[in-house]
Amino acid sequence: MRNLSWAFLGLVLSAGCVGAQNPADTDLGHDVHVRPLTEHTWLVSSVSNIESFGDVQSNAVLAVGPRESVLVDTPATNEQTALVLDWAEQQLHRPVRHLVMTHWHQDRMGGIDIALKRQVATYALGKTIELARQHGLSLPEHELRSQDHLALSGVLLETYYPGHGHTADNIVVWIGLDHVLDGGCFVKSMNARTLGNLAEINVPLWSKGVASVRRRYPGAGIVVPGHGDVGGLELLQHTAELLAQSENEKAVKSSK
């Protein structure tokens, strides 16, 4: 990770990080925490009760521009998302003007209603919009292509659809200035021992997609998984290994 500039350290301190349990961690309340990843990005970590899964920790990323910011995914509830929006505006003085969602599940777009209410522009893959419609959810306004380059509030993003993996609509988001890859639930953390929610997965296509992402972003210095600890490119290798393990177990079962 690049060294934080003195100016950035000043921003961290003014954002209320002094006195927190982790000096770089800010508690926003309601199980939402933020901490800096790089000079222009923040990790948003939240814990929410999700039906059928209980309390689930999830990650989102806030990318900060000169005057405004972009949120990639939301916490699972509108209440928690409102805390993030308030903090970005009141403490960073960089209000969130854009929200990019990496797939249709609650832990990625559970806060879309408060975002829409506050006139935050919302973006998602066409597949995500269709799945949200099928499940009676609020719809993102702007449709992303399978590969898109966005300049939002002075933040340059690349969104990429690597194919069906965790879900049919999962995308990853590349913040090239800071070499940050937000993998969403397409990428598993190092402490993950399984593939998690299996309801919609496609293991063979997921494996191909991981290989594609590894080729596309070899310079990723920080990789953010949908859940668990942030890491580097080793998270993509670990995800590939979990997928290979799943395929091997399936092959053994089918041979019996």
Task: Tell me the three state secondary structure of residue 192.
Answer: coil
pLDDT of residue 14: 38
From residue 110, alpha-carbon distances to 11, 72, 113, 166, 193 in Å are 28, 12, 8, 17, 25
pLDDT of residue 17: 36
Q: The whole model's pTM is what?
A: 0.90
- CA 158: distance to chain centroid? 13
Catalytic positions are 103, 105, 107, 166, 185, 188, 197, 227
Domains in the chain (CATH in brackets) are 26-255 (3.60.15.10)
pLDDT of residue 51: 86
- CA 109: distance to chain centroid? 10
pLDDT of residue 251: 64
pLDDT of residue 118: 98
Listed as ranges, residues in the chain with pLDDT below 70 are 1-23, 250-256
In terms of Cα–Cα distance, which of 116, 79, 87, 80 is closest to 99? 116
